A and B are shown apart, each in its own frame.
Chain A
Amino acid sequence: MWAVIRNRLLMLIVVIFGVSCITFLMSNVIPGDPARMIVGVKATEETYQRVREQMGLNDPLYEQYLNYMQGLLTGDLGTSLRTQQPVIEDLITYFPATLELVLYAFLIAIILGVFIGVLTAVKNNSMWDHIGRIFSISGVSLPVFWSGLMAIILFYGVLGWLPASERLDLFIDAPPTITGLYTIDSLLAGDMEAFSNSVLHLIMPVSILAFVHLSAITRQIRASMLDVLQQDYIKTARANGISSSFLIIRYALRNALMPAVTVVGLSIGSLLGGAVVTETIFNWPGMGKYVVDSIGSLDFPAIMGFTILIAIGYVLINLLVDLLYMVLDPQIRE
């Protein structure tokens, strides 16, 4: 087991090195001329050259890369051209909003996904199975930016049940920051008004985001449940008269969850991508909205800072998932 972990950590270093190369190339080589973008087309040649010098663009490429890496290791992702703040500080400010959105979407998707997956597998080829199947294919086929808009038209525009943007209503103060998650902070502060308001604001974006993720999980759980239910030990247990629900939960689901763990880890990538779009639609003040605004104003340090941070986070999550897998599956541990 330790050899596997060591290998994975080595791989992690290679991957993070590669990731930094890619973002470096994207921010420093492809987009033409960042200095020109700062000074504008009308600037004099002198100003332009001075800015190039300041930005280190006249240094050889390897030196620029070393500087970039040095910054990266100390957590310096450059300064945002749009907000004039260090990118890392901006991202830390916007992180809790994204975390709150993604975390709840993830939890709902897992719980419902396992439930629907088991249901459709047990009732294989029944009407429930077909409905579940159409449901899960719909989830991966819906453009998030569109289903979000449709939800807003219905629940905000027509019915007026739910708020359509931001994390709280204008006249409600944010609870004192402890975790940065408004739902938890407001509970800790005993502020029930802020709590219920933040829940209302979460319902739509979280459901839209969870739906996409839910489909991926449902499909995986259904497939692996179908596999497991065919196994001899399930037949034996059945023949021994073990009750159906006990059998499904204790014998089948436990084993069916194994392959699902990896898929869940990988599909967090699509959850993060979906969060960017969801935040844009719901005007949710998180990292995703921050990066889309940055794209609008060609703010490359911000775009690349976000990208590399997400990539590193994603790699770490998958490493954790692999380790979890080893803990769960004694066959791999040995």
Chain B
Amino acid sequence: MQTPQTSPASHPAVVPERVPGTVQIFWSRFRKNPLTMVGGVIFILFVLIALLAPVLTGNDPNQVRMDLALQKPSAEHWFGTDEVGRDLFARVIYGTRLSLGMGISIIIVAGLVGTILGAVAGYLGGKIGQIIMRIMDVILAFPTLILAMALSAAMGPSLMNAILAIVIVKIPAFVRLARSETLVVKEKLFVKAAQTFGLSDTWIIVRHIIPNVITPVIIQMTLDLGDAILMVATLGFLGLGVQPPTPEWGAIISTGWRYFLDQWWYPTFPGIAIFLVTISFNIIGDGLRDMLDPRSAR
């Protein structure tokens, strides 16, 4: 960094140059990374698709037309039709709402619960902290997908249970992160001051700890979103998530699987949708990690 050396003492009249804020630095680094921009564009596209679903297709995703079963992609049905003649384009488009909605809500709930548990475990420590962390260790002892499968099988396959199962397997990572950040923040003077004032633990955790540990948690949330959406689709594929006839990408592929050798389009398009959404999040997450990692600013 080459900044002109001006001594403020000799030029008292010079107005100090405005220091670029975090957001600006962030934005300028973001723009320098073309791949991350591509990820961002794909993501915005899918958000638009989710919002504008009724505008993009005039077809009802659940309209059964037995006379139109298993048709090839055409001008009428861009992605073809399924075994009961439903328009696959409409089903994939409406599926965007479900997948994005489920993925985002899973990550928000897991991030929030994880932050609270992590802040409590880090701030209070002692027995409560130990208990919270050991429970997290136990959850982490399972491979995530396998635990999510077992949990949603045990609770009975449904949309809510799939969400809950994925939230449970996603929580420990956030708890660990929030706890380690809390251990640092806890030693800061403003927390010590709050303690001297005799403020309650709840107050300190909510007003002082959580606002100061939330930034890395939010970054971790972006990194995890792609994986959450992939998991939703995988559970859907295994018949453990959203139940038919709701148009969910994984579930569509699960039925399309039976027809894939003759009707290749059936499982192909929903799969491309899953891939594009997931990769857009992973690219954004990867870019974020690079931007925020001081070591990568070489």
Contacts and interface: CB of A to CB of B under 8 A. Distances in A.
Interface string A249-274: 00000000000000000001110111
| Band of interface residues on A | 35 or more
A276 interface: yes
Given A130-B35, A307-B150, A141 B138 contact: no
Q: Choose among B139, B234, B240, B250 the residue with the greatest number of A CB atoms under 10 Å from its CB.
A: B234
A195 interface: no
Nearest to A312: B141
A121 interface: no
Interface of B: 35, 134-135, 137-139, 141-147, 149-151, 153-156, 226-227, 230, 233-234, 237-240, 250, 253, 257, 260-261, 264, 267-268, 270-271, 274-275, 278-279, 282-283, 286, 295, 298
B154 A146 contact: no
A138 B278 CA distance: 9
B146 A310 contact: yes
Contact of B155 (A30, A141, A153, A281): A30
Given A143-B233, A143-B234, A149-B257, A137 B150 contact: no
A18 B144 contact: no
A303 B153 CA distance: 8
A306 B147 CA distance: 10
B177 to A, nearest CB: 15
A141 B278 contact: yes
Contacts of A311: 141-143, 146-147
A144 B146 CA distance: 14
Nearest to B271: A146
Contact of B239 (A31, A270, A296): A296
B237 A277 contact: yes
A150 B268 CA distance: 7
Given A146-B267, A314-B143, A277 B238 contact: yes
A215 B268 CA distance: 23
A155 B143 CA distance: 30
Interface stretch (A19-27, A45-53, A74-82): A19-27
B27 to A, nearest CB: 21
A133 interface: yes
Nearest to A137: B282
Contact of A141 (B150, B238, B267, B282): B282
B91 to A, nearest CB: 15
Contacts of A32: 156
Contact of A26 (B134, B151, B260, B286): B151
A149 B271 contact: yes
Contacts of A277: 145, 234, 237-238
A267 B133 CA distance: 21
A141 B267 CA distance: 17
Nearest to B249: A143
Given A143-B237, A277-B238, A149 B141 contact: no
Given A15-B138, A138-B279, A272 B146 contact: yes
Contacts of B151: 26
A141 B141 contact: no
A215 to B, nearest CB: 10
A18 B145 CA distance: 18
A16 B227 CA distance: 26
Nearest to B152: A295
Given A26-B154, A273-B146, A310-B143, A141 B275 contact: yes
8 contacts: A14-B137, A138-B275, A140-B278, A144-B234, A146-B274, A269-B144, A281-B257, A295-B153
A152 B258 CA distance: 13
A134 interface: yes
B260 A18 contact: no
Nearest to B34: A130
Contacts of A152: 260-261
Contact of A307 (B138, B147, B233, B279): B147
A142 interface: yes
B271 A150 contact: yes
A201 B91 CA distance: 34
B255 to A, nearest CB: 12
A19 to B, nearest CB: 5
Nearest to A16: B141
A184 interface: no
A315 B260 contact: no
A150 to B, nearest CB: 7
B279 A149 contact: no
Contact of B142 (A134, A137, A143, A307): A307
A300 B154 contact: yes
B60 to A, nearest CB: 25
A61 to B, nearest CB: 16
A277 B283 CA distance: 24
Given A19-B138, A137-B279, A141-B282, A273 B144 contact: yes
